[in-house]
């Protein structure tokens, strides 16, 4: 994955969605349980939070350049360990090895971006007072310990885009990762420890779901961020509100990929295929709803069918594999149930539609058309290798269909007429719109959505301010008293 390719998120499959599962590495290709981890004891949580709080009090007072140096060193260690870490990602959640290495490359970019630019982002900003003399300055200060609840689909990227800006800012982080990627969680903590982060600055935990509220309620916790399902986000957002904690939620997406016209239809089909199929379709900003004007619809569907027919299941560690397993057998069953619901209610299967005759958590690369509002696939996020293609008569109908979703994360508009594409983009209800390229991610670009896709922004300069005290300092000069006259 390059800096401009998709790097999104997990949804009905976060750590917050399964209360009783143990933290375990279950290889989705072989089905074998390779390693298990005990839950963090409930009685140990107070000590974990206290260590993070104590660390914060020292960490915030270090010069920002020293904090940035630790973050940069973590990036360098990630580069050095990339092969081993990529193999770990593949083992735990099934990502193709090439994509796993790409995820780590992007993570290194993010850490270096905040190490290099974070100190400048934190410079005080002057304001010219409208009344009175003196000066006014807005300072950006850390707030304390944060809880990060993160998913499995990009097990390093999701964590790094929280840790990078907040560690440079001066906050400390407690991680609750997904139950199916525990070794990735341990490896991330080790990266920051080896980079020189003092104890408590970045702490991995294996929290039970039932213990999450205890952490959020703790007065030493100052914020919580979650990437995951709408259901998990609603629960965590409610807890954060109950306990008056700032929260950032990056939730589901059902991103439209609108094709208005195409000088090169083959390139457009290739972009749609990449946008839908990267990470086996397990990305919140994947191009899930392909909306095509009627004059291009038939050749587009034909081209997409040809492209999807090339995806064959195989070992994700094998460089020749084109279709990796989903993250778990449960995930494969859930996606297939959504597809089957559409088929049972009259959807047309252009490609795929089944579980292949292959060991592992696989679902065929699937294309559905004639999907109607009575089908789950019309309203729900399809988190895997399944695309729905819609035919519309013009741009107005495309916008209407795109905005009909409860989600509003990303969107793509394809057109050889950039002005036309921008006019359509201006009408889309989304946190991110990409023109002539599938939605992606890069350190300097803000990431986040609207509507039921959540709130807040990660990445870019904006991420430095989500969990910050934007403190005003107003200084008024003291009027000097008149000197007494000599007698």
Count of beta carbons in the 10 Å neighbourhood of residue 85:
25
Active site annotation includes 380: no
Report the run of H or E that residue 418 belongs to, with start and end: helix 418-425
Q: Measuring CA to CA, how many Å separate 200 from each of 60, 62, 353?
A: 12, 15, 47
Q: Measuring CA to CA, how many Å separate 328 from each of 31, 106, 232, 247, 424?
A: 8, 24, 19, 29, 38
Q: Measuring CA to CA, how many Å separate 4 from each of 32, 388, 440, 449?
A: 34, 24, 5, 18
| Given 99, 250, 364, 458, the catalytic residue | 250
Task: Answer positive or negative: Cα dihedral of 359, 365, 371, 374.
Answer: positive
Active site annotation includes 284: yes
The residues that bridge with 260 in the sheet, in sequence order, are none
Count of beta carbons in the 10 Å neighbourhood of residue 126:
10
Which residues, other chains included, contact 91 with Cβ-Cβ below 8 Å and sequence gap of 6+?
Answer: 25, 27, 34, 183
Q: Which residue has the tokens 């494969």?
A: 332
Q: Which residue has the tokens 């000590």?
A: 47
471, 141 contact by CB (below 8 A): yes
| Given 10, 99, 103, 284, the catalytic residue | 284
- CB-count burial class (<10 Å; 0-12, 13-18, 19+) for 426: exposed
Active site residues: 250, 284
């Amino acid at each position: 994955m390059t800096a401009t390719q998709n790097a999104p998120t997990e949804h009905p499959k976060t750590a917050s969605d399964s209360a009783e599962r143990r933290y375990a590495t279950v290889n989705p290709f072989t089905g074998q349980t390779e390693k298990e981890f005990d839950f963090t004891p409930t009685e140990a949580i107070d000590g974990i939070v206290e260590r993070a709080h104590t660390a914060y009090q020292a960490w915030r007072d270090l010069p920002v350049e020293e904090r940035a140096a630790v973050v940069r060193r973590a990036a360098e260690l990630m580069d050095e360990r990339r092969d081993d870490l990529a193999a770990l990602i593949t083992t735990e959640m099934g990502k193709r090895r090439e994509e796993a290495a790409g995820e780590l490359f992007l993570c290194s970019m993010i850490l270096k971006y905040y190490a290099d630019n974070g100190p400048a982002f934190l410079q005080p900003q002057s304001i010219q007072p409208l009344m009175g003399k003196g000066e006014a300055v807005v300072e950006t200060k850390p707030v304390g310990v944060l809880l990060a609840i993160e998913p499995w689909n990009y097990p390093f990227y999701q964590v790094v885009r929280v840790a990078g800006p907040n560690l440079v800012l001066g906050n400390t982080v407690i991680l609750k990762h997904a139950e199916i990627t525990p070794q990735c969680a341990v490896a991330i903590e080790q990266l920051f420890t080896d980079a020189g982060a003092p104890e408590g600055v970045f702490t991995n935990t294996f929290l039970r779901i039932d213990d999450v509220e205890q952490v959020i309620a703790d007065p030493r916790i100052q914020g919580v961020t979650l990437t995951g399902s709408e259901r998990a986000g609603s629960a965590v957002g409610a807890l954060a509100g109950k306990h008056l904690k700032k929260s950032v939620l990056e939730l589901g997406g059902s991103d439209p990929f609108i094709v208005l016209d195409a000088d090169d239809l083959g390139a457009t089909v290739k972009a749609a295929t990449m946008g839908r199929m990267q990470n086996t379709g397990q990305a919140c900003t994947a191009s899930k709803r392909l909306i095509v004007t009627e004059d291009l619809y038939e050749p587009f569907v034909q081209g997409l069918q040809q492209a999807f027919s090339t995806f064959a299941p195989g070992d994700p560690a094998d460089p020749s594999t084109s279709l990796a397993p989903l993250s778990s057998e449960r995930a494969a069953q859930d996606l297939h149930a959504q597809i089957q619901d559409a088929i049972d209610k009259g959807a047309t299967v252009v490609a795929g539609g089944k579980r292949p005759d292959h060991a592992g958590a696989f679902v065929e690369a699937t294309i559905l058309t004639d999907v109607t509002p009575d089908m789950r696939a019309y309203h729900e996020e399809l988190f895997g290798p399944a695309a729905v293609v819609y035919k519309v008569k013009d741009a107005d109908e495309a916008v209407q269909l795109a905005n009909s979703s409860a989600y509003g994360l990303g969107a793509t508009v394809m057109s050889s007429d950039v002005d036309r594409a921008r006019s359509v983009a201006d009408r889309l209800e989304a946190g991110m719109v990409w023109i002539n390229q599938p939605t992606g991610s890069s350190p300097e670009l803000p990431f986040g959505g609207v509507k039921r896709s959540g709130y807040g922004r990660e990445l870019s300069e904006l991420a430095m301010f989500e969990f910050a005290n934007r403190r005003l300092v107003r200084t008024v000069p003291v009027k000097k008293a008149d000197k007494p006259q000599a007698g």
